[in-house]
Amino acid sequence: MSVAIRAFQGKFGRIALLDMDRPLVTHAHTQCHALIKVGGADTHFSVRDKSVPLTDDTMVLINSWEPHAYTHNVEAPRTIILGLYIEPQWLVKTEKALISSGNPGFFPHSCVRISDRVRKLSNTLAMEMLYGDDLSDQYLEEQLFNLMIAVIESFSEWRNFNLLQPGNLPAIPDFRIRRAISYMRANLGSELDINTLAEQACLSRAHFFKLFQQSTNVTPIVYANVLRMEAAIQGIAQTQQSLALLSGSLGFNAQSHFTRFFHQHVGATPSQYRKVVNVLEQP
């Protein structure tokens, strides 16, 4: 069964060292996302409806809100993956233009040839996560920051990014979709009902569904799952709330359903993730 070896959460977002031997369902993240193989067998992800390899020589880059899935063959050997989920606001402290890391197209290519510097920095970070018993917050952030800047400098087009270009605006422009999303956020514990969301947006069901995908790049179901997943990760890492209460607050009628949902999205069960995650000082 796939497990999280170690994870850290903080103002930078989240980083996790994952031991994967099972696929993950199609999902997305609010942050830009980098995946680097640090051990085990070569494997694949599905991004933009294409299968992209994750190997010793390649890494996978995923934009904010970009649907993707892990396609590990259950008969294949295990793969150790370093996953970086980076908040744009954390990068802004160095360069304001890096706010564009939260926009579509920040990484123009989902699979790139890993550079020697990125390989060296990622191996160092993975080894520190695996064997470093007492990592200071400052040291870990410095290691992560150096790695992400090396990735961004090599593989993004942030210097040429025009935030005012259509499709790159950081906010969802259509107020009707924003209203539906606000309703989704306020009702995470309720069953997702497309008809209700369409009513909130004052649109027909078909028009709402089409406009939602055009505005967010994902379906309403995937968007709702992202919101629930983010709330679950924060609740598990930053509170002592029981998993039964947490799963109920997120709309799961059985804790076993929540456990399966979490494992299919993160690659670890909620209880196992809680054991290995460290929360760094928040801003």
Percent of the chain with pLDDT over 90: 76
Residues 94-151: tens digit of each pLDDT:
778 788 888 888 899 999 999 999 999 999 999 999 887 777 888 889 999 999 999 9
Residues 97 and 237 in one domain: no
Q: Which pLDDT belongs to residue 252?
A: 94
Find where tokens 């999280």 sit: 4
At 161, the pLDDT band (50, 70, 90 cuts) reads low
The strand pairing partners of 58, in sequence order, are 113
Q: Which residues of 10-44 are buried (b: 16+ CB within 10 A; e: fewer)?
A: bebbbbbbbbbbebbebbbbbbbbbbbbbeebebb
The answer to the question of residue 237 being in a domain is yes
- Across the chain, mean pLDDT equals 91
Whether 162 has a pLDDT exceeding 70, the answer reads no
Cβ(270)–Cβ(259) below 8 Å: yes
The answer to the question of residue 91 being in a domain is yes
Whether 169 has a pLDDT exceeding 80, the answer reads no
- Find all residues with CB under 8 Å of 259, minimum gap 6, and list them: 243, 247, 269, 270, 271
Residues 176-187: tens digit of each pLDDT:
999 999 999 999
The answer to the question of residue 39 being in a domain is yes
The answer to the question of residue 277 being in a domain is no
Say which DSSP state 30 is in.
Answer: S
Q: Would you state the structure tokens that stand for residue 26, as one six-digit string?
A: 């199609």
Q: Would you state the structure tokens that stand for residue 280, as one six-digit string?
A: 């760094």
Q: Which pLDDT belongs to residue 30?
A: 92
Residues 208 and 255 in one domain: yes
Residues 120 and 37 in one domain: yes
Residues 155 and 246 in one domain: no
Residues 25 and 156 in one domain: yes
Q: Which pLDDT belongs to residue 283?
A: 43
What is the CATH classification number for the domain harbouring 250? 1.10.10.60
Residues 93 and 200 in one domain: no
Number of domains in the chain: 2
Structural domain of residue 105, as residue ranges?
3-160
Residues 239-248: tens digit of each pLDDT:
999 999 999 9
Single-letter residue type at 219: T
Which helix (H) or strand (E) is 111 found in, with range?
A: strand 111-113
- Find all residues with CB under 8 Å of 152, minimum gap 6, and list them: 91, 98, 101, 158
- Find all residues with CB under 8 Å of 196, minimum gap 6, and list them: 183
Whether 218 has a pLDDT exceeding 80, the answer reads yes
> Mean of the pLDDT values across residues 256-273?
96
> Mean of the pLDDT values across residues 178-203?
94
The answer to the question of residue 138 being in a domain is yes
Q: Which pLDDT belongs to residue 73?
A: 80
Residues 149 and 27 in one domain: yes
Alpha helices by DSSP H, 92-193: 116-131, 137-155, 175-186
Q: Which pLDDT belongs to residue 65?
A: 92
At 256, the pLDDT band (50, 70, 90 cuts) reads very high
How far apart CA 52 and CA 96 sit, in angstroms, is: 31
Is the CA virtual torsion 116, 122, 124, 130 positive or negative? Answer: negative
Q: Which pLDDT belongs to residue 164?
A: 45
Residues 56 and 192 in one domain: no
Q: Which pLDDT belongs to residue 145?
A: 93
Cβ(22)–Cβ(16) below 8 Å: no
Cβ(111)–Cβ(175) below 8 Å: no
Q: Which pLDDT belongs to residue 280?
A: 85
End of a domain among 160, 192, 208? 160
Whether 231 has a pLDDT exceeding 90, the answer reads yes
Q: Would you state the structure tokens that stand for residue 81, as one six-digit string?
A: 């993956």
Residues 63 and 119 in one domain: yes
Whether 168 has a pLDDT exceeding 70, the answer reads no
Percent of the chain with pLDDT over 70: 95
- Which value, to the nearest 10 degrees, does the dihedral of the CA atoms of residues 235, 173, 108, 160 take? -120
